[in-house]
Amino acid sequence: MKPTAPLRRACARTLLAAGLATSLALMTGCAKSEDDSGGDRGASQGKDAGQVVASPSGGTGPSCAIDAYGGEKRDLKSATVGFSQSEKEANPFRIAETASIKAEAQQRGVKLLTANAQSQFSKQISDVQDLIAKGADLLVIAPLNSDGWEPVLRAASAKHIPIVTVDRKINAAACKDYVSFIGSDFVEQGRRAADRMIGATGGKGEIAVLLGAAGNNVTTERTKGFEDRIKEKAPGLKIVFRQTTEFSREKGQSVTENLIQSRPGIKGIYAENDEMGLGAVNALKSAGKKPGAVKIVTIDGTRNAVQGIVDGWISGVIESNPRFGPLAFQTLDSFARGEKVAQDIVIQDSSYTKDNAESDLGKAY
């Protein structure tokens, strides 16, 4: 071998390592980002932002009690609760969801164990098994998938651990494999968005739909609710444009740019999440449109979108409330004390319009 080669290679390696180290130090050491108008999102959430149940507990739907599920009564205060989050806390919804669970546990003085599956289902399964092994007495799970939960459910039912799933259902027998599901009705969200759109446009004209990622149940349900309601209530509104922009702001922006040029007469845009809606706002702004010239209705209720209503760009935001903490703990508490709880707890999502946007901006996440 060339005698200089290893030396040079070592040199390159050292340089590389040194470069990486310095750049990291630089990045973390003297970073100075722009002032964030949003401030601390997790901390600023008020109690009033908690969820309200749409169907009253123990009412019409099937319910569940501890005698049927197995296990013994206990006081939640002395118990340990495990929470398994599905995706990285990289979007406002997940951030608010985790923060809400943590805040509620702290307030109630309950010991909380958390895990994050980083969008890998196999990791979520082992996460939950770990939580059980670490001594969780009750579980709150935000499932990544609906299927494939048998191994976890078997382990949990052997120990009579009550499970509450939030924001997505799992395919298993309620009150046998798990206690309750707490979540939004995405079809209903779509219907309400349609109502807002009808109100904003006056029920006539051409509108466009920015679809979420293909093959996602949220996308299909929000689309179904919206389209059905439009067909039923406002036949004058025509959906002339449907493109997927994958829940991303950037794609929402580029597609909308093309949309408003090829169809200048478009009256409304329904975006299936806030990010795509904000992208559409960007596109309208740079095209020189005036606020309100094209009516935009979105779903989720993030702070940026609600701010968009205040600024006049967005006509309505249907909330999809991520603050499962209070309701989840209330359900577990009632259940542990021996009371009946509903198997399906559909939450009441609020909505933001011009009338309440400014005052309720603090509620947005």
Partner 1 sequence: MLTVTGLCKTFPGVRALSEVDFTARAGEVHALVGENGAGKSTLIKVLTGVYQPDAGELSCDGSQVRFATPLQAQQAGISTIYQEVNLVPLMSVARNLFLGREPRGRLGLIDFRRMHRAAEDTLRAMGIRVDVRRPLRELGVGAQQMVALARAVAVDARVVIMDEPTSSLEPREVRTLFGVIRTLRERGIAVIYVSHRMDELYEICDAVTVLRDGRVVHTGRLAELDRLRLVALMLGREIGEVREEGLTKFTGSRDTAARPVLEAEGLRIRHQLDGVSVSLRPGEVVGLGGLLGSGRSETAKAIAGAVPVDGGRVVVAGEPVRAGSTAAAIRAGISLLPEDRKTEGIVPGLSVRENIALAALPGLSRFGLVDDARVDRIVDTFMKRLRIKAAGPHQKVGELSGGNQQKVLLARWLALHPKVLLLDEPTRGIDVGAKAEVQALVDELADDGLAVLLISSDTEELIEGSDRVVVLKDGAVVRELTGDAVTEDELMRAIAAVPAGGHDD
Partner 2 sequence: MTELSLAPGAVDRDRALRLLQDYGVYGGVLALLLFNFVFTPHFASAENFRTQAVQVAPVLIVALGMALAIGTEGVDLSVGSVMALSTSLLSLYLGYGPWTATLIAVAGGVVAGLASGALVAFVGVQPIVATLASMVAARGLALVLLPQLKDVHDPGLAALGSGDVLGVPHLALIAAALALLVAFVVRRSTFGRQLLAIGDSRPAARLAGLPVRRVLVVVYVCSGALAAIAGVLATARLTASDPTSLGTLMELSAITAVVVGGTPLSGGRVRIGGTVAGAVLIQLLTTTLVKHDLPPSWTQIAQAVVIVAAVYAARERGKR
Contact between 10 and partner 1 per CB under 8 A: no
Contact between 273 and partner 2 per CB under 8 A: no
Contact between 279 and partner 2 per CB under 8 A: yes
Contact between 5 and partner 1 per CB under 8 A: yes
If you search the block for the tokens 């939450």, which residue do you land on?
347
Q: Choose, by CB under 8 A, the member of 286, 311, 312, 362 that binds partner 2.
A: 286
* Gap between the Cα atoms of 82 and 85, Å rounded: 10
* Gap between the Cα atoms of 142 and 365, Å rounded: 18
Q: What are the tokens at 142?
A: 């935000």
Binding mask 305-324 for partner 1 (x = CB under 8 A): --------------------
Binding mask 233-272 for partner 2 (x = CB under 8 A): -------xxxxx-x-xxx--xxx-xxx-xxxx--------
Q: Which does 119 bind (CB under 5 to 8 A by kind): partner 1, partner 2, none?
A: none
Contact between 40 and partner 2 per CB under 8 A: no
* Gap between the Cα atoms of 329 and 324, Å rounded: 8
Neighbours of 6 (CB within 10 A): 10
Read off the DSSP letter of residue 178: B
Contact between 91 and partner 2 per CB under 8 A: yes
Contact between 20 and partner 2 per CB under 8 A: yes
Buried b (16+ CB within 10 A) or exposed e, 327-355: bbbbbbbbbbeeebbbbebbbebbbbeee
User: Applying CB under 8 A, which part among 103-111, 139-147, 198-206, 274-282 lies near partner 2?
Assistant: 274-282
* Gap between the Cα atoms of 229 and 208, Å rounded: 15
Nearer to partner 1, 4 or 37 (CB): 4
Contact between 11 and partner 1 per CB under 8 A: no
Q: Is 74 exposed, middle or buried (0-12, 13-18, 19+ CB in 10 A)?
A: middle
Q: What are the tokens at 300?
A: 């989720």
If you search the block for the tokens 């599901």, which residue do you land on?
181
Binding mask 50-89 for partner 2 (x = CB under 8 A): --------------------------------------xx
Position 25, amino acid:
A
Contact between 31 and partner 2 per CB under 8 A: yes
* Gap between the Cα atoms of 307 and 235, Å rounded: 31
* Gap between the Cα atoms of 208 and 248, Å rounded: 16
What is the total count of residues that contact partner 1 (CB under 8 A)?
5
Task: List the interface residues with partner 1, window 122-161 (CB under 8 A).
Answer: none
Q: Taking a C-beta distance cutoff of 8 angstroms, is the pair 237, 207 a contact?
A: yes
Contact between 43 and partner 2 per CB under 8 A: no
Q: Which residues bind partner 2 (CB under 8 A)?
A: 8-9, 12, 15-16, 19-20, 23-24, 27, 31-38, 88-92, 95, 214, 240-244, 246, 248-250, 253-255, 257-259, 261-264, 275, 278-279, 282, 285-287, 304
Q: Which residues bind partner 1 (CB under 8 A)?
A: 1-5
